[in-house]
Amino acid sequence: MFIEKEKIEEGIKMTDKKLSKRIFAYIIDSTIVLLLTTLIINIKYLNPTYDTALEKSNTLEKLNISNIQMQNYLPLYYKDKEISESEYNDLIKDNDFAYLLVDAYSDSVITEDEYNYIITESKKNYDEKAPTAYQDALKANWYVYLVYIVIYLLYFVGFNMITKGITLGKKITKLQIVSSDNKEVKPYQYLIRSLISYGYFIYLLELIVPYIIPLQYIIGITSFLSLAMNTLQLVTGISVIINEEHCGIHDKLANTKVIETKDNILEARIKDLNLLSPEKKQELDDLVNNSKVEEENEEEIKVAETENPTDGDSNVKPKTLKKEKSTTSKVKTKKTKEEK
């Protein structure tokens, strides 16, 4: 019994279901972009906001750490209603609210009333200072967000346009982005799929947030944007995994898909053929040989008709017809044996 056409095509067709390859390509491309952006923003001569951004970022970081010290570590240390000298030294180190502890610990004892006052007052001071610190840090880091946006656009849109959908990660894993309608992928398709899969449009929002959002909402909005970016990337990744053809929401919205390149297809065909049993290989060889014989006979008939139009099929070489008959008989004999 011959191998069905559908099964042959299934064994050697282009496959876009190499999930591990897609994950590996994603990691490679993300790493490349991260390295490029980190390199640019951390070279002082390439970053006009380097000093200011570093200062404002450190101020915000110190403020956040100070709040953690007072709202998390202080209650932990004060469980026994006492603060040891070593605990006290840990709490006041690089702490913006250390003055509250210094005043209360002057007699080496912190009463419960003093403890409650420190907790309340430090939280109040943090809530007052944090929005301004966040706003200053966001404004000072405008260049960082801009670099991220530009690098993502150049790599996932511009570079893809040049290489026809083959980033460095996909080059290594032998994958390619193509349009689902078998047409050439348009720039806007690369843009849509990259915006969704990497979520870098969030950087654009963070770039304008400090200029359009009221001060009291800045922390909440920036936290929401970070969460939204992480959630979008997670959902996109899950959609790639659970989809039968590993086509994510970014592919569906952009009308694209990821397939194997031609080199990888050839390797897959060879591998599939090697996995066939000897019997299946023989059946496939017989099928190919029969097709070749039929093509040769048709060609000779056409030549004979061209040379002797009036003789029709009578000028076909007997040897060729005999070959076809012999091959056909062999196939029929094999079928009969299998049926028995």
Instruction: Indicate if the pLDDT at residue 81 is higher than 50.
Output: yes
Position 231 in a domain: yes
Instruction: State whether 186 and 94 are in the same domain.
Output: no
Instruction: State whether 41 and 160 are in the same domain.
Output: yes
Residue of 133, 152, 136, 146 whose CA lies nearest to 47: 146
Instruction: Indicate if the pLDDT at residue 22 is higher than 60.
Output: yes
Position 270 in a domain: no
Q: Which long-range contacts (CB under 8 A, 24 or more apart) does 275-281 make?
A: 275/11, 276/11, 280/3
- pLDDT of the residue at 167: 94
The predicted model gives 5-26 an average pLDDT of 62
Render pLDDT for 233-262 as a digit per residue (tens, 0 to 9): 999 999 988 888 888 899 999 999 998 886
Instruction: State whether 194 and 305 are in the same domain.
Output: no
Supply the mean pLDDT for the chain: 82
Render pLDDT for 112-164 as a digit per residue (tens, 0 to 9): 999 999 999 999 999 999 999 999 999 999 999 999 999 999 999 999 999 99
Instruction: State whether 154 and 35 are in the same domain.
Output: yes
Domain of 299 in residue numbering reads as 277-339
Render pLDDT for 260-284 as a digit per residue (tens, 0 to 9): 886 555 454 555 556 566 776 677 6
Instruction: State whether 12 and 149 are in the same domain.
Output: yes
User: Residue 177: beta bridge partners?
Assistant: 258
Instruction: State whether 259 and 112 are in the same domain.
Output: no
Instruction: State whether 186 and 303 are in the same domain.
Output: no
State which of 140, 157, 188 marks the end of a domain.
140
Cα–Cα–Cα angle for 247, 250, 253, nearest 5°?
A: 100
Instruction: State whether 158 and 231 are in the same domain.
Output: yes
pLDDT band at 80 (very low <50, low <70, confident <90, very high): confident
Instruction: Indicate if the pLDDT at residue 224 is higher than 90.
Output: yes
Task: State how far the Cα of 72 lies from the Cα of 77, in Å rounded to an integer.
Answer: 9
Structural domains in the chain (count): 3
State which of 140, 161, 180 marks the end of a domain.
140
- pLDDT of the residue at 289: 74
Task: State how far the Cα of 19 lies from the Cα of 245, in Å rounded to an integer.
Answer: 9
Instruction: State whether 191 and 220 are in the same domain.
Output: yes
Instruction: Indicate if the pLDDT at residue 12 is higher than 50.
Output: no
Position 271 in a domain: no
Instruction: State whether 207 and 299 are in the same domain.
Output: no
Instruction: State whether 114 and 238 are in the same domain.
Output: no
DSSP state of 234: H
CA-based Rg of the chain, rounded to a whole angstrom? 35
- pLDDT of the residue at 312: 47
Instruction: State whether 194 and 184 are in the same domain.
Output: yes
Render pLDDT for 162-216 as a digit per residue (tens, 0 to 9): 999 999 999 999 999 999 988 899 999 999 999 999 988 999 999 999 999 999 8
